[in-house]
Structure 1
């Protein structure tokens, strides 16, 4: 079942930062990797991705530099900054807490328990 953009909106930055932890990348490649890693359950729109990398860059969490793609085309690459690594860790902890709280409600509903 495809994931709606509304459901994942708050986690796009986390996904981008997680990919940039591995290596610098350009926007199209990031979009392809997001789709691939999601098992085709989520395909990010280019406008959403560009907004995310620009927001992360404005916040000092990533930096950009000119490079050339494997096909030889000029590209703007993004790399995670030290502040981005710290922010990533913070957002992972936040995600785990959020998931834990939501799981409690889902589990209670599945068991027919109300509080």
Structure 2
């Protein structure tokens, strides 16, 4: 299982990636993350809520009130155009990050 420290900087990328296809609420986002990550990563609710609030403060996502099938109120999140741009930048950064770490993992020489 991936430790929280190893993935901390990429939680925003994961959330924005999920929101680029459709608006969602926090519990559903957690479920989607668990489904995609399998047994390799489990997000804590506090980590997820911190991420969506941080993304909302940065205007990368907006929230709106909705309800469940049972009528229970829910807060939904959707990605903004600024969030789409930020996601594109973070995806490029991720590819570079992977490349650099791979160089060391595969036995970098100076």
After superposition, the CA RMSD in angstroms is 1.0
**1:83 maps onto 2:82 in alignment:** yes
Q: Deviations over 1:96-115 (max 9, x none)?
A: 00100010111126xxxx32
TM norm structure 1: 0.92
Partner of 2:39: 40
CA distance in 2, matches of 1:70, 1:39: 27
Query: Hey, which bits of structure 1, 4+ residues long, moved more than 3 A?
Result: none
Partner of 2:56: 57
**1:93 maps onto 2:92 in alignment:** yes
Runs (5+) with no aligned partner, structure 1: none
Partner of 1:69: 68
Highest Rg: 1 or 2? 1
Runs (5+) with no aligned partner, structure 2: none
TM norm structure 2: 0.96
Partner of 2:103: 104
